[in-house]
Amino acid sequence: MASKHILVVDDEIGIRELLRDILQDEGYQVQLAENAAAARAARLHERPDIVLLDIWMPDCDGITLLKEWANGSLLTMPVVMMSGHGTIDTAVEATRIGAFDFLEKPIALQKLLKTVSAALKHSEQLPKSEMNLTSLGKSPIVTALKDRLDKIAIGASLTPILLIGPKGCGAELCARYLQDVGSPWLQLTDFSKLIDTPLDILEAIRGGILYIPEVADLKKAEQKGLLLLIAKSEKYHVRVVCGTSENLPKLQVESLFDHNLFQALSAVSLRVPALDEHKEDVPDLVVAIANLQLELAGLEYREFDIAALNGLRNANWPGDLAQLDSVVRNLIHTSLGEKITLDDVKRVLHQFDDPDMLDKTIEAKKSKSAQVEEASTATIAQLLDQPLREARDDFERMYFQYHMKGASNNMSKLADIAGLERTHLYRKLKQLGIKIK
């Protein structure tokens, strides 16, 4: 059996090397990191079986790093916190975030080995990493979605939930978010059971979640069966969550979807945003998907350079999150360089394009570029003919109008692009006579 891999993170070289020597003598494979930055890099490239993490470090404290891993779905291994002057409050906070245990320095040899042994046994019981709602991003639209799901989760009622969004948008991640730890989960694929044995379904997942990815796929008799199941679900403490990418009110008007079922599902409904609505989350999603491939498929971690991440963020995603996942896995498997580049991204994104149409598109872009260049030359000439103050105002007006369009009038994005505080940005737009939509 391969020796277990332990990552030791501590800014004091003496402590790092002492722990390494002790653990190597016990047959463990030990990797050292002198700060949080080195620990991040080590965690991205390999999943250690256990991490010994110092709390007090110069670049980032251990609690913050622990929280970062937890929020990024990277806390899939036991983490033992270490501190020479820790407090009970610190230990409680670390445990609340997800730390396995807490060691106080100076660490006694037997205490160290006992804790490491217990943590490794615990590691074998941990589930493998998986995409979750936290992985979906930190943008305002995703944060609002989480807040609404939190409000639903803490409610006493087990009212069924309808998740509305395009195929591949991450509706299952939302349904999983509502699942209590260790409770049953069933993604129903055999819809005939809704007709024949709806109560058996409830009995099998008592206290859990029943998830139907596309409720519009149910036939009329199956819709009746689901309505009966929903009526009995609270008795079995089962939450019914249905997803749809279809226009259910339209199907109801056309008598293709049961009126009573629609009323039951629409009482609590949420729209799951399409990936194109929160493209700022794409870089974080790419890193999360790449890390999953490392943990689940055993693939070597591949780093994406900045241009590649920007290319993915600016791309269109008609297939939503599922398409992004497929593209990232393709890039990891087929890219040849040490890092994945923008050229790699273009190769995969355009591999199904018609070559003839691609040539025409390139020619059209060249023609448009020439037109833009000609127009730009004329605009610059007009600016240069004006007094400095007027020329500067006209340029700033063009600058903000151009970027407002690209940012879809999102003031937060525009402030980031322009490098201005939002209050300063609002004053500047008002001064230039630019109306905010």
CATH number for the domain harbouring residue 24: 3.40.50.2300
> What pLDDT is attached to residue 210?
96
* Beta strand pairing call for 50-54 and 161-164: unpaired
Residues 79, 164: one domain? no
Residues 100, 161: one domain? no
Q: Minimal CA–CA distance to 134: which of 240, 244, 281?
A: 281
Residues 148, 257: one domain? yes
Residue 87 lies in a domain: yes
Angle between helices 259-266 and 220-233 (to 10 degrees): 40
Residue 431 lies in a domain: no
* Contact predicate 214/247, CB 8 Å: no
Residue 425 lies in a domain: no
Residue recorded with tokens 């890193």: 287
> What pLDDT is attached to residue 368?
59
Residues 138, 249: one domain? yes
Q: Minimal CA–CA distance to 212: which of 245, 234, 181?
A: 245
The torsion angles phi and psi of 345, rounded to 5 degrees, stand at -60, -45
Residues 267, 324: one domain? no
Of 298, 315, 349, which residue is a domain's last? Answer: 349
Residues 306, 193: one domain? no
Residue 338 lies in a domain: yes
Residues 283, 308: one domain? yes
For residue 125, how many other CB atoms are within 10 A of its CB?
7
> What tokens appear for 356 in the block?
């003839």
> What pLDDT is attached to residue 292?
76
Residue 147 lies in a domain: yes
DSSP 8-state class, residue 273: P
Residues 156, 264: one domain? yes
Of 273, 296, 324, which residue is a domain's last? Answer: 273
CATH number for the domain harbouring residue 208: 3.40.50.300
Q: For 166, what's the count of Cα atoms within 13 Å in the CB-facing half-sphere?
A: 13
CATH number for the domain harbouring residue 319: 1.10.8.60
DSSP 3-state of 160? coil
Residues 28, 88: one domain? yes
Domain that holds residue 163: 134-273
Residue 432 lies in a domain: no
Residues 244, 148: one domain? yes
Residue 95 lies in a domain: yes
> What tokens appear for 48 in the block?
């250690």
Helices and strands (H, E) in the chain, number of each type:
20, 12
Residue 395 lies in a domain: no
Of 238, 273, 308, which residue is a domain's last? Answer: 273
Residues 14, 117: one domain? yes
Number of domains in the chain: 3
pTM of the model: 0.61
Among left, alpha and beta (phi > 0; psi -120 to 50; other), residue 334 is alpha
Q: What pairs with residue 303 in β-bridges? A: 339
> What pLDDT is attached to residue 1?
44
Residues 268, 138: one domain? yes
Per-position pLDDT tens, the chain of length 437: 457 899 999 999 999 999 999 999 999 999 999 999 999 888 877 778 899 999 988 888 899 999 888 876 677 889 999 988 767 788 888 888 889 999 988 899 999 999 999 998 887 766 555 667 777 788 999 999 999 999 998 876 789 999 999 998 889 989 988 888 778 999 998 999 999 999 999 999 999 999 999 999 999 999 999 999 999 999 999 999 999 999 999 999 999 999 999 999 999 999 999 999 999 999 988 988 887 777 666 667 678 999 999 999 999 999 999 899 999 989 998 999 889 999 999 999 988 876 665 566 556 666 656 665 666 676 777 777 788 888 888 888 888 888 888 777 788 888 888 888 878 888 888 888 888 76
